[in-house]
Amino acid sequence: MRTILQEELIQLWEQDRRTVIFVTHALDEAIFLGDRVVIMSARPGVLRSEVEVPFPRPRSHDLRGTSEFAELVQRTWDVLRDEVVAELEEARAVGRSADGARR
């Protein structure tokens, strides 16, 4: 269902090409739908990095199966991993769980 909705969103965008800001935690979704992926820090939310998506439009679901797509997902995760690890370490240091709740 998620894949079908993503393809529907792309078709809608192709009709009038409005600017869309799409917020997701799924890297593959961000790369498939976007022309650039903006990575935010945890707290406070500030711009940490920006990844340009080089894949031409129109895009089809087949793009996800390419090595180029997998490589971009991995490179993007490499940037994000440092942020996630730092947040987990900070959460442990102040005695709260990873979702922000105090223990």
pLDDT digits (tens, 9 = 90+) for 9-24: 888 888 888 888 888 9
Q: Which two tokens stand for residue 12?
A: 């809608």
> Can you give the pTM of this predicted structure?
0.75
Rounded to whole angstroms, the Cα distance separating 73 from 50 reads 13
Residue 102 lies in a domain: no
Residue 103 lies in a domain: no
Cis peptide before 44 (omega within 30 of 0): yes
Reported as a pLDDT band with limits 50, 70 and 90, residue 56 is very high
Residue 101 lies in a domain: no
Residue 99 lies in a domain: no
Which range of residues forms the domain containing residue 56? Answer: 2-93
Residue 26 lies in a domain: yes
> pLDDT (tens digit, 9 = 90+) per residue, 81-101?
877 887 788 888 888 655 566
pLDDT score for 98: 56
Count of domains observed in the chain: 1
Residue 82 lies in a domain: yes
Rounded to whole angstroms, the Cα distance separating 79 from 86 reads 12
Residue 100 lies in a domain: no
